[in-house]
Amino acid sequence: MHLRSPVGLGTAPLSSRRDGPLWWGPQDDGLSIATIEAALEAGIDWIDTAPFYGWGLAEELVGQALSGRAPVTVLTKCGTQRGPDGRAFEDASPARVRDGVRASLERLRMDHVDVVQVHDPDRATPIEATWEALMHLVADGVVGGAGLSNHPVALMERARAVGPVTVVQHRYSLLSRDAERDGVLAWCRAHRVPFLAWSPLASGFLAEGFDLAALDPTDLRRGLIWAQTASQERLARTRRALTDVARELGTTMTSVALGWVVAQPGVAAIVGARTPVEAAAAASVADLDQSALDRLDGASAP
């Protein structure tokens, strides 16, 4: 799969609701739709979403924003379900996959979606059974390709034995390098599978103007590792390096942080914007030379 723009729009923050699974503070639906439109106008040409985001709200917003527009590449997910108590659980059984994709298409107002990714590993369902169901949907023309989100290499390899893996998605940023240590990035490069980095700005901790103290007291970002005391020295070092490189290039911290991510071979970035201004900023990616990349690597080392 070829993604033209190095950055795609992530939609998890757009579906922020107090009664939803992810709370990023208050979010207005009209502003969310304007954010999607601003991202497209800024040159971003692919969108990543999921039924889990707002329990379908993000897909509905994407469907509304794209209605009547020229085709845009859309990636969604399957597998994560809402339990009777409102909590999420994983069920990527074939029937759940088929039903989930049908529901996603209705919310997206589409009869075909480019990629469906298995959101998280389902320990109760063999990945082979999930992948066979997705391959049937691909053969039926309902889905363009299948991907894996947050899966280890062993499951990626087992899925690939059944059918093609179109994309792989993991958390990845200057502050999150597990995909390097776990061999996920190396696997993607070896098999020429695009790697999509979610949270490339570390949920905003690597963006200019980020103020943890200003967040809603119950904002999910207060519980992230970068908000904890033990991470503050590394975070401060990384932000200083980003600021220095941005000043030298006459650009922003956001642009530099994204520039580092997409400079890694085979990697594209998913940026979760909540306003048109943030969406436009996400489309600007700094072109970094090796010296800048090395400085950022050194500053962000654990």
- Residues annotated as catalytic are 53
| Residue among 62, 99, 60 at smallest CA distance from 79 | 99
In this structure, the dihedral spanned by the alpha carbons of residues 1, 134, 172 and 10, taken in order and rounded to 10 degrees, is 80
235, 253, 257, 286 from 246: Cα distances, Å: 16, 6, 9, 9
- The CA distance from 261 to 172, in Å, is 8
Could you say which DSSP state residue 95 is in? H
Query: Which residue, 71, 65, 69, 73, is CA-closest to 33?
Result: 65
Which stretch of DSSP H or E encloses residue 118?
strand 113-118
Burial track 120-138 (b if 16+ CB lie within 10 A, e otherwise): bbbeebebeebbebbbebb
Give the C-alpha separation, 265 to 172, whole Å: 13
First CA to last CA distance, the chain: 33
Q: Is residue 159 a contact partner of residue 129, using CB atoms and an 8 Å limit?
A: no
- Amino acid identity of 101? V
Nearest to 8 by CA among 115, 143, 134: 115
CB 271 within 8 A of CB 200: yes
Q: Is 24 helix (H, G, I), strand (E, B) or coil?
A: coil
The span from the CA of 176 to the CA of 184, in Å, is 13
